[in-house]
Amino acid sequence: MTVPDWLRTVVAVAVYWTAIALGGSVLLADPTSPLVAIPILGGGAVVAHAARTDRLVELGYAVGTMWLAVLAVSVGTGVVDLVAAPDGEIAPLAGSPGAAALGTVGLFGVLVVAYAAFSRRRAGRDGSDPE
């Protein structure tokens, strides 16, 4: 049984958009914060561009890169909290509004830069225009 291309695209768009929304808002302590619009709306714009320009594979690599950044931030925060708070009290990074805002914007920035880099790499390999 073969899966129609349109269905494959719809599923890829849904999965990537969900991964971007979850990964981009992981540092927000309040899920109703206005900052949640960055990964949701911005992620929607990036996914729409990828679907329109047939760059869903490059978007997949960019989403994976963003999640590697989430992992790096999580591990780095744990190490810093362990070293900085030797009495065992771990202060959550998301509790700080400045850190949450910087992290959310930073993670979205990682996604956009990685998407542009992977798209540019494909364009260079194919000899086509990245837009």
Q: What is the pTM of this model?
A: 0.83
Percent of the chain past pLDDT 70, that is, above it, reads: 88
What is the predicted pLDDT for the residue at 54? Answer: 93
Question: 52: number of CA atoms within 13 Å, CB side?
Answer: 8
The answer as to whether 71 is a domain residue is yes
What is the predicted pLDDT for the residue at 15? Answer: 96
Distance CA 116, CA 102 (A): 21
Q: How does residue 101 score in pLDDT terms, banded at 50, 70 and 90?
A: confident
Q: How many domains does the chain have?
A: 1
How crowded is residue 94: how many other Cβ atoms within 10 Å of its Cβ?
Answer: 17
The answer as to whether 129 is a domain residue is no
The answer as to whether 80 is a domain residue is yes
Q: What is the pLDDT of residues 81-97, one digit of tens each?
A: 777 766 656 566 556 77
Question: 75: number of CA atoms within 13 Å, CB side?
Answer: 6
What does residue 39 show for φ and ψ, rounded to 5 degrees?
Answer: -70, -30
Which helix (H) or strand (E) element contains residue 40? Answer: none
CB-based contacts of 101: which residues, under 8 Å, 6+ apart? 35
| Torsion angle of the four alpha carbons 103, 108, 110, 115, in this order, in degrees rounded to the nearest 10 | 170
> Residue 104 belongs to what domain range?
5-26+35-124
The answer as to whether 111 is a domain residue is yes
| Torsion angle of the four alpha carbons 51, 43, 14, 68, in this order, in degrees rounded to the nearest 10 | 110
The answer as to whether 107 is a domain residue is yes
Lowest mean pLDDT: which of 32-41, 46-55, 69-78, 89-98? 89-98
How crowded is residue 122: how many other Cβ atoms within 10 Å of its Cβ?
Answer: 16
The answer as to whether 46 is a domain residue is yes
What is the predicted pLDDT for the residue at 94? Answer: 54
Q: Whole-number mean pLDDT of the chain?
A: 86
The answer as to whether 131 is a domain residue is no
